[in-house]
């Protein structure tokens, strides 16, 4: 490990961002795992690419705000579009989502050669956490704090809805509102991790931490706080290690989280593959 | 039999009556329920009987406030129920529930308290007591730390009933509670429903096994989009009516 780097302000910002995004998205991954919709998260993350491309295409410049709003717009459009199509009862929502997001992704790929900011665009596709500026930190911090606050305030109605929407509605929970809220927060969380890991890898941060915890414990609250800890610590460790191994920090974060998941899968005291064999 | 039930209910001194008037529900212009009217009171176990697609689940969901009604009113204890009532508890069909959800039996029952605690308030000793009492009366105290996915079918039903008790619900709306239960579990659940009704609750359950209706229920509503008959089980379950509802002779 290169300890000189620690004094570099870029590096410091990168570590802070990784830790914070890792925690906030790791916390949120608890909802993704409980809701069993990792696949739709993956679809939404791919949708952010055409969103960013469109943002640049329309404004002619690549800035954080263009990219953020483009990504958010596209994810909301495709996500809500799939819900609307599924309402017709003819096409199932997963099918609708797959159709819409691949079409949007294709449109994004078609649009890419027409943009002259391709070099920088790679930052958004795959993330470039070393390049984060102060604005990025504040955006990530703002979104993360907002998500944490809202989900903690509404933890009970959210859990009721995720567990059994009908029973929740019979208890007076505004189920429709909560479902849209979770979706909106999910899109926000995805967008906030763009700078760190890019749109394609953002799924890793939003699924893996709580998936790992779910192999270790049955406690619902642990999915959130444990997911946050694994996400935060894993991301910081990954950024620290990435230099040593000479790989980019974005992929390093998702690799480290993936390795932690595999370790839990194999060696979890309660549900591990090996530990169950030994019994 | 139903008279004694009414007595046990009356000693509470309340007017515990559920009255449904001209209830109609439709899904995308397809009429699911039309002009359903019935009046019953707590202490009763009411079976909703009818062929598949007759609207049994829809009626339960409409009473619970899960689906909007086109017309009609629901009165409980003399008050109009606009959308939902804390005194109603809905129990979905067992296969509709995600049993792999990581929650303990106690956690599930505690969810029943949320209408009382609201979204933020911590559990008070009174809340914990209500949860304990609910677990105890459904013989779940020993299982309270188990994950719900580890329960048998009958235990899963009881866990949801305990959740309804913790909520202090008076009207239990059960969707096919006996489906998939083995003989023992069915017996136990039948006894429990009788006990719950005797304590002054009103049980409404969709049920498809005509043979067991007389021993499990006091009243029956025969449903086929419209209400074909409603009344005490012995009066309603006539061979002619059943044949008309199901288009096939009674028995197997």
Each domain of chain B, given as residue ranges in start order, spans: 1-85+210-245
A255 pLDDT higher than 50 = yes
The CATH number covering residue A244 comes to 1.10.3470.10
Is A246 within 8 Å of A193 (Cβ atoms)? Answer: no
Reported ipTM: 0.85
Phi then psi dihedrals of residue B224, to 5 deg: -150, 80
Model confidence over B165-196: pLDDT tens digits? Answer: 999 999 999 999 998 888 888 999 999 999 99
Structural domains in chain A (count): 1
Model confidence over A125-134: pLDDT tens digits? Answer: 777 788 777 8
Helix (H, G, I), strand (E, B) or coil at B193: helix
Domain that holds residue A37: 3-267
Looking at the domain assignment, is residue A278 inside a domain?
Answer: no
**Could you say which residues of chain B have pLDDT below 50?**
1-8, 10-11, 249-252
Q: How far apart are CA B107 and CA A163, in angstroms?
A: 12
Helix (H, G, I), strand (E, B) or coil at A77: helix
Write the CA distances from B196 to A109, B9, B172, integer angstroms. 62, 11, 9
Query: What percent of chain A stands above pLDDT 70?
Result: 95
User: Touching check for B16 and chain A: CB below 8 Å?
Assistant: no
Of A160, A170, A223, the CB nearest to B64: A170
A29 pLDDT higher than 50 = yes
Q: How far apart are CA A42 and CA A207, in angstroms?
A: 9
Chain-chain contact of B104 with A163 (C-beta, under 8 angstroms): no
Write the CA distances from A177 to A158, A169, B19, B68, B228, integer angstroms. 10, 11, 30, 16, 38
Q: Degrees (nearest 5) of the Cα angle B52, B56, B59?
A: 150
Mean pLDDT of A241-253: 87
Looking at the domain assignment, is residue A273 inside a domain?
Answer: no
Tokens 């490990």 belong to residue? A1
Of A153, A166, A171, the CB nearest to B115: A171
Predicted structure pTM score: 0.86
Looking at the domain assignment, is residue A277 inside a domain?
Answer: no
Query: Does residue B206 or residue A89 have the better pLDDT?
Result: B206
Chain-chain contact of B119 with A153 (C-beta, under 8 angstroms): yes
Average pLDDT, chain A: 86
Domain covering B1-85+210-245 in this structure, CATH number: 3.40.50.300
Q: Look at residue B25 in the predicted model and tell me its pLDDT.
A: 93
Q: How far apart are CA B63 and CA B18, in angstroms?
A: 10
Identify the helix (H) or strand (E) that includes residue A174.
none
Model confidence over A97-128: pLDDT tens digits? Answer: 899 999 998 988 888 877 776 656 677 777 77
Looking at the domain assignment, is residue A272 inside a domain?
Answer: no
Task: Calculate the CA B26 to chain-centre distance.
Answer: 21
**Which residue, among B94, B119, B159, B161, would best test binding to A if mutated, counting the most A CBs under 10 Å from its CB?**
B119
Q: Find chain A residues with C-beta within 8 A of B67's C-beta.
A: none
């Amino acid at each position: 490990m290169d300890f000189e780097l620690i004094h570099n302000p870029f590096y410091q910002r990168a570590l802070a961002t990784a830790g914070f995004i890792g925690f906030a998205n790791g916390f949120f991954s608890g909802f993704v795992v409980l809701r069993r919709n990792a696949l739709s998260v993956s679809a939404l993350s791919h949708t952010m690419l055409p969103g960013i491309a469109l943002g640049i295409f329309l404004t002619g410049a690549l800035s954080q705000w263009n990219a953020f709003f483009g990504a958010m717009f596209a994810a909301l459009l495709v996500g809500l579009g799939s819900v609307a199509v599924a309402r017709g009862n003819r096409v199932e929502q997963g099918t609708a989502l797959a159709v819409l997001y691949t079409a949007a992704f294709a449109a994004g790929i078609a649009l890419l050669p027409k943009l002259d900011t391709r070099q920088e665009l790679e930052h958004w596709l795959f993330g470039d956490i070393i390049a984060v500026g102060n604005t990025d930190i504040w955006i990530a911090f703002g979104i993360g704090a907002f998500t944490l606050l809202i989900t903690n305030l509404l933890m009970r109605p959210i859990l009721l809805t995720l567990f059994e929407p009908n029973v929740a509605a019979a208890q007076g929970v505004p189920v429709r509102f909560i479902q849209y809220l979770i979706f909106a927060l999910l899109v926000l969380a995805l967008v906030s991790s763009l700078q760190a890991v890019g749109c394609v890898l953002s799924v890793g941060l939003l699924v893996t931490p709580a998936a790992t915890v779910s192999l270790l414990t049955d406690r619902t609250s642990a999915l959130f706080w444990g997911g946050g800890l694994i996400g935060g610590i894993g991301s910081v460790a990954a950024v620290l290690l990435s230099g040593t191994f000479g790989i980019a920090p974005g992929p390093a974060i998702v690799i480290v989280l993936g390795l932690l998941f595999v370790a839990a899968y194999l060696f979890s005291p309660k549900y591990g593959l090996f530990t169950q064999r030994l019994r | 039999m139903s008279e004694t039930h009414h007595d046990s209910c009356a000693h509470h001194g309340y007017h515990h009556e559920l009255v449904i008037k001209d209830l109609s529900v439709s899904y995308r212009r397809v009429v699911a329920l039309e002009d359903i009217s019935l009046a019953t009171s707590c202490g009763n176990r009411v079976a909703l009987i009818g062929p598949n697609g007759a609207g049994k689940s829809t009626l339960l969901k409409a009473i619970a406030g899960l689906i909007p009604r086109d017309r009609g009113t629901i009165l409980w204890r003399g008050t109009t129920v606009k959308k939902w009532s804390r005194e109603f508890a809905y129990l979905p069909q067992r296969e509709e529930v995600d049993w792999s959800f990581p929650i303990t039996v106690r956690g599930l029952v505690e969810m029943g308290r949320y209408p009382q605690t609201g979204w933020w308030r911590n559990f008070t000793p009174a809340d914990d007591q209500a949860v304990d009492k609910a677990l105890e009366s459904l013989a779940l105290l020993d299982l309270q730390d188990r994950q719900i996915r580890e329960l048998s079918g009958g235990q899963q039903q009881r866990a949801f009933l305990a959740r309804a008790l913790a909520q202090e619900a008076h009207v239990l709306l059960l969707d096919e509670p006996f489906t998939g239960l083995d003989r023992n579990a069915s017996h136990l659940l039948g006894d429990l429903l009788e006990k719950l009704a005797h304590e002054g609750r009103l049980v409404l359950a969709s049920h498809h096994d005509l043979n067991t209706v007389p021993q499990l229920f006091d009243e029956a509503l025969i449903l086929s989009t419209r209400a074909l008959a409603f009344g005490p089980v012995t009066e309603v379950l006539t061979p002619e009516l059943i044949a008309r509802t199901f288009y096939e002779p009674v028995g197997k």
